[in-house]
Amino acid sequence: MQSVSHIVDYLRRGERLTAEDAVVLWREAPLWLLSELALSSKRAVSGELVYYNRNIHIEPSNVCLFNCEFCSFRRRVGDVDAWFLTLDEIEERARKMQGTGITEVHIVGGVHPDHTIDLYCEMIRRIKALLPNVAVKAYTAVEISYMSRREGISLEEGLRRLQAAGMESIPGGGAEIFDEELRSKICPDKCSSEEWLAVHRAAHNMGIDTNCTMLYGHIETIEQRVDHLNRLRQLQDEAPGFNAFIPLKYRSRNNRMSEVGECSVEDDMRMIAMSRIFLDNIPHIKAYWVAYGKSTTEMALAFGADDIDGTIDDSTKIYSMAGADARPTMSVEELEALVRDAGFVAVERDTHYNEIRRSAQPAATMQRSQRGQKIAIMYGDDPNSDARLRDERVDKEVNEGNNENRDMKSVKSSNKGAERGSESGFRAMYKRNIVLWTILSIGAFGLLLILLLYFGLMIFTRHSKSIVVPNFIEMNLEEARVMAKDIGLEIVVRDSVYESEIAGGVVIDQMPAPSSVREVKVKPDRKIYLTVNAYARRMIQVPYVANQSLRQAINQLERDGFNIGKLEYVPHTYDGQVVEQKVAGKVITRSTNIKLPYGSSVTLKVGYRSGKQITAVPQLMGMNLSKAKNTLWTSGLNVNKVEYDETVKDLKDRRLARVYMQTQPAKKGVVRGTKVSIYLTCDEKLIDSLSKITDTRSAYYDEQRRLMQKEAEAEAKAQEEERKRLEAEEKARAEAAADSLRLLAASEEQVVASVEGATDVDEE
């Protein structure tokens, strides 16, 4: 292991930081040193400049097929606060932005199970029709992977269709964390890391530039962060196309990982600095102000960030719903002031990092900045300025040196002459000692935060007040509402199901759930989410899930209220993909329009690649019924018998019951489709004692499953390489055949010519 001073030495010689040394630097280097190293890397790329843009987000829907642990944004179809924008509503949003001077529309949202690639393309077309010269940065790799798979087309074809509709760039969302084990914990059903990278690789190879992100500050380790950065750096070496890396700080409100809390501001600064130092081939590091808040963003500029994102205009909810600024908006003046206050020069950019200068009068020619970079000129906020911008935008030239960067600062500074001339002594001193001041500010900020937290918690969270959550299960909904109101809680109906043996309007589940062993307490006014039994069995449209992965199909069917009847396995090219779906013996196709009662069973025929029939039985101990069923199905197994012991007396008990026994013990090496019976109890002591025994076993089988998954991945890779080799051989054979045909044709021509020549002579 290298020492920090040794690492710094080789970095200063311009050598690349290794993954191993990055871990050491991250953990051990003092903050001031990270700031110095990161700033020196930043200056080599963007001098004193810090970029911002004029942009909005459009989030077409918060309904999402995937159910990530960290997400506060996701809703299910039918949830009271689920939304879905129609094409007309999207168009209306774009219309409102005409003439405002924005240069980018960023579209990102949940992966809505019913959205087709045609709909995604139409959204872009509608926006481009109204804002022809605004760049559309659209859809994360997760969405693109899903829409292409759903359509049964390659990633390249999916990207080509989106590009033809007007998509110009791809945002960096959905990367989360690449480490497979952690990814399977925090976002198990999202596309794999390999798939995320494959989408960006394909885009880069097609000349589409993209961004990349990492969700950090939750339960990941420094090693996992470095691994993530390393995979991005490798892809950028292999197929360049990333414009910016955006470390996304995990915000903890209103999601299932809330108890993890948020990381410190010091951790944020280390994250920014290490991204800048490690990612020596990605030009821009973005401190996304919406995620960080304004003061942390300003601080991030002293640690190597050179972009803060845009005006936003209160158009994104992903971060508001997770606890950040409720209505994120910054004017150009505010963005510029933030950059200036940190001692840098604010520059407006477009999606591709071309500088934009806006001017009141038209200029005759293209202008050049002092860095030699070509810049686009915009004329005020005239709606036509978008068009002019596009006409005059040209590709950026390669990096210029530091001196030129400093020149740029002076040009910009002189533009702002009076303002900079009247700088106070304090400000000048601040700029000279930016690192020292930053560290002092972090200290002061931390102290202030502790004091604010102490007093704030007392006042705002009514720390001393808490209410014991009552058991609403089996109550009538109206009774539950009255009781909740009396004790200061709010009732929200989250779901409605239909169980024939229970009366309509009766509460059958609640969250947070009461516990028979301890009191569950919440703050006053807290929402309690209830599942209520419907008065009549609802009829639901059967969704078409063929061509999706098994996990996606299960999620969608469960979400819509269907049960998985049976999983049947058949040999197929795509391992783990749903090949066919049946209800009541009838095959469902894309065009089938059929409604069935809530809770009906769907049979799925799932593909496996030859030699891959084997799976592992998961540990189900301690899970409730729906979690246990879902775990079996997603492991490729069938649910056989479900039995309750004598402690389970009524419906309420069924909801609380946990698995204490399974017929197939957790083990690897069973054939996919094998049936497993599960036994449930309400005896918490039994569950507790059994889960202690199985905890270590569970870790063992988790490890076995991970190894099997790795083996399967290696196998898939080998098969892909073999396919490519065969393809290359086939191509070579075809070329050789074409060559010999050409030779044959040429010699035939010669023969014909000589015969004709001979005939001519004869005739003479």
CA dist 285 and 273 (Å) reads: 9
CB of 108 to ligand V47, least distance (A): 6
CB of 164 to ligand V47, least distance (A): 22
| Residues facing 584 on adjacent strands | none
CB nearer to ligand V47: pick between 191 and 578 = 191
Q: Which of residues 67-86 bind ligand V47 (CB under 6 A)?
A: 70-72
- Taking the CA atoms of 327, 332, 338 and 342 in sequence, report the sign of the dihedral they define: positive
CB of 107 to ligand V47, least distance (A): 11
171 binds ligand V47 (CB under 6 A): yes
Contacts 24+ apart (CB under 8 A), 29-32: 29/4, 31/266, 31/269, 31/270, 31/438, 31/439, 31/442, 32/435, 32/436, 32/439
Residue nearest to ligand V47 (CB): 173
Q: Which of residues 215-254 bind ligand V47 (CB under 6 A)?
A: 215, 246, 248, 250-251
CB of 103 to ligand V47, least distance (A): 13
* Segment holding 378, helix H or strand E: strand 374-379
Q: What would you report as the CA-atom Rg of the chain, rounded to the nearest whole angstrom?
A: 30
Strand, helix or coil for residue 489: coil
List the one residue from 173, 576, 607, 636 that touches ligand V47 (CB under 6 A): 173
List the one residue from 41, 62, 145, 211 that touches ligand V47 (CB under 6 A): 211
Residue 658 near residue 635 (C-beta atoms within 8 A): no
CB nearer to ligand V47: pick between 228 and 654 = 228
351 binds ligand V47 (CB under 6 A): no
CB of 275 to ligand V47, least distance (A): 14
607 binds ligand V47 (CB under 6 A): no
CB of 104 to ligand V47, least distance (A): 9
Contact code string over 305-324 relative to ligand V47, x by CB under 6 A: ----x--------x---x--
Q: Where do runs of H (alpha helix) occur along 29-116? A: 31-46, 87-96
- Taking the CA atoms of 137, 138, 140 and 141 in sequence, report the sign of the dihedral they define: negative
CB nearer to ligand V47: pick between 56 and 553 = 56
CB nearer to ligand V47: pick between 188 and 599 = 188
* Residue 660, token pair as written in the block: 């204490």
CB of 25 to ligand V47, least distance (A): 25
Please name which of 78, 76, 104 lies closest in space to residue 315, comparing C-alpha atoms: 104
Q: Which of residues 89-128 bind ligand V47 (CB under 6 A)?
A: 108
Tell me the window of 209-217, 412-420, 530-538, 557-565 that interacts with ligand V47 (CB under 6 A). 209-217
Q: Which of residues 634-673 bind ligand V47 (CB under 6 A)?
A: none
Tell me the window of 66-74, 177-185, 562-570, 656-664 that interacts with ligand V47 (CB under 6 A). 66-74
Residue 467 near residue 524 (C-beta atoms within 8 A): yes
Sequential DSSP letters for 618-665: PP-TT--HHHHHHHHHHTT-EEEEEEE-TT--SHHHHHH-EEEEESSP
213 binds ligand V47 (CB under 6 A): yes
Strand, helix or coil for residue 130: helix
569 binds ligand V47 (CB under 6 A): no
Tell me the window of 16-24, 169-177, 640-648, 731-739 that interacts with ligand V47 (CB under 6 A). 169-177
* Residue 286 DSSP label: B
Characterise 656 by phi-psi region: left (phi > 0), alpha (psi -120 to 50), beta (else).
Answer: alpha
CB of 309 to ligand V47, least distance (A): 6
* Residue 194, token pair as written in the block: 């390999």
Which residues contact ligand V47 (rule: CB under 6 A)? Answer: 70-72, 108, 171-174, 176, 211, 213, 215, 246, 248, 250-251, 255, 288, 309, 318, 322
